[in-house]
């Protein structure tokens, strides 16, 4: 047995107990998520709720359903936007589309799709390139609420200005307003864009792969995981990707620190677009 009275160790022990409790009680497994962001959100939540200690929070989260729901909302972050990192989408259009154009059928998995902005950005490019009808897209996220929101394809109209700018920076040439109609401050995207998409809840930590894909988007999802969970999830991604398939990571994510590094080549350097070259 080791023991400690270092305050830093005690804080991390308490956080570990909280995460263990949430996992056992609510089946929500954050044990291998990156601790620094988690503890920030937990500290903020404790402050909002006027709870003094992490163990006090655990006690209440085990018993009070409504507190748990509020905590869950605080712990899941869904920040996203249309054509986030426009140069990535430009590279997708210019470098990847010409290759996948030759495939008879294209399966694309958008993992951690949040409220759907990334999925619709991809669908718009595929539509403009005349490929959308040949594609099957799968948009998944851990959180069922955001998946059903993604499915509606409805966004605040106030976000359309920024989306339009990013669309243009990503090489879009049409009036972006072609893609939505406005009603009551809401921009409703054309349902044709998601006609070939299947939306589903899927947990990268605990659920298995469900198909083989030519392309997998998993951007800004694994940054919330620690190294060992990243490796596990990358193994799942690797096993779900066909030979010469593409993996897209977020702008500041990389294969560099992963055991799968040598199975991939950087297809477009700097854009985190990787191609599987080895099993």
Partner 1 sequence: MASLVVIGCSLGGLDALRVLLAAMPAEFPWPIAIVQHRGKNDDRLLVPLLQEVCALPVGEVEDKQPIALGHIFVAPADYHLLVEPAGFALSIDPPVSYSRPSIDVLFESAAASRRTGAVGVILTGTGEDGAAGAAAIKRRGGLVLVQDPSTATAGAMPGAAIAAAPVDRVLQLEAIAPALAELAREGRLPEALRDDPGPK
Ligand X SMILES: C[S@@+](CC[C@H](N)C(=O)[O-])C[C@H]1O[C@@H](n2cnc3c(N)ncnc32)[C@H](O)[C@@H]1O
What is the binding site for partner 1 (CB under 8 A)?
7-8, 11, 34-37, 39-41, 77, 79, 220, 222-224, 226-227, 230, 250-254, 256-257
Instruction: Mark 140-179 with x for binding to ligand X (rule: CB under 6 A) and - for no binding.
Output: -xxx--x---------------------------------
From first CA to last CA, the distance across the chain in angstroms is 42
In whole angstroms, the minimum distance from the beta carbon of 29 to ligand X comes to 8
DSSP structure string for 42-71: HHHHHHHHT---HHHHHHHHHH-HHHHHHH
Establish if 77 lies at the interface with ligand X (CB under 6 A).
Answer: yes
Which tokens sit at 79? 């920040």
Of the two residues 20 and 59, which places its CB atom closer to ligand X in the complex? 20
How is residue 33 annotated by DSSP? Answer: B
Q: Are 269 and 239 in contact (CB under 8 A)?
A: no
Nearest to 105 by CA among 239, 242, 249: 242
Pairing verdict, β 135-141 and 241-248: unpaired
Selected from 132, 150, 204, 255, the binder of ligand X by CB under 6 A is 204
In whole angstroms, the minimum distance from the beta carbon of 114 to partner 1 comes to 10
Q: Are 219 and 250 in contact (CB under 8 A)?
A: yes
In whole angstroms, the minimum distance from the beta carbon of 11 to partner 1 comes to 7
234 half-sphere exposure, CB direction, 13 A CA radius: 27
> Which residues, numbered 31-60, are part of the site for ligand X (CB under 6 A)?
none
In whole angstroms, the minimum distance from the beta carbon of 237 to partner 1 comes to 15
**Contact partner, 181, from partner 1, ligand X, none, Cβ < 5-8 Å per class:** none
CA 150 to chain centre: 12
Instruction: Mark 206-235 with x for binding to ligand X (rule: CB under 6 A) and - for no binding.
Output: -------------xxx--x-----------
**Contact partner, 114, from partner 1, ligand X, none, Cβ < 5-8 Å per class:** ligand X
**Contact partner, 93, from ligand X, partner 1, none, Cβ < 5-8 Å per class:** none
For tokens 């700097």, name the residue: 270
Q: Are 83 and 161 in contact (CB under 8 A)?
A: no
Establish if 22 lies at the interface with ligand X (CB under 6 A).
Answer: no
For tokens 């394809």, name the residue: 153
Binding site for ligand X (CB under 6 A): 76-80, 84, 112, 114, 118, 141-143, 146, 203-205, 219-221, 224, 250
């Amino acid at each position: 047995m080791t023991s400690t009275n270092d305050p830093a160790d005690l804080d991390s022990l308490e956080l570990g107990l909280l995460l263990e409790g949430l996992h056992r009680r609510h089946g929500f497994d954050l044990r291998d998520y990156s601790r620094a962001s988690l503890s920030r959100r937990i500290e903020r939540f404790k402050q909002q709720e006027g709870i003094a200690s992490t163990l006090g929070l655990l006690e209440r989260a085990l018993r009070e359903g409504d507190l748990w729901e509020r905590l869950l909302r605080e712990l899941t972050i869904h920040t996203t936007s249309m054509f986030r990192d426009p140069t990535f989408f430009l590279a997708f259009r210019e470098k990847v589309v010409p290759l996948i154009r030759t495939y008879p059928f294209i399966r694309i998995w958008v993992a951690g799709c949040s409220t759907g902005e990334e999925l619709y950005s991809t669908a718009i490019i595929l539509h403009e390139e005349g490929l959308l009808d040949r594609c099957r897209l799968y948009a998944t996220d851990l959180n069922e609420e955001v998946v059903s929101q993604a499915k509606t394809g409805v966004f605040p109209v106030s976000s359309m200005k920024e989306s339009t700018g990013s669309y243009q920076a990503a090489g879009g040439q049409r009036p972006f307003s072609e893609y939505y109609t406005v009603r009551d401050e809401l921009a409703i995207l054309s349902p044709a864009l998601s006609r070939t998409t299947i939306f589903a809840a899927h947990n990268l930590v605990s659920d298995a792969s469900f198909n083989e894909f030519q392309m997998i988007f998993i951007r800004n999802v694994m940054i919330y995981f620690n190294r060992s969970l990243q490796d596990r999830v990358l193994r799942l991604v690797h096993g779900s990707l066909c030979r010469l398939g593409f993996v897209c990571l977020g702008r500041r994510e990389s294969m560099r620190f992963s055991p799968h590094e040598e199975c991939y080549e950087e297809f477009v350097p700097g854009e985190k677009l990787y191609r599987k070259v080895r099993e």
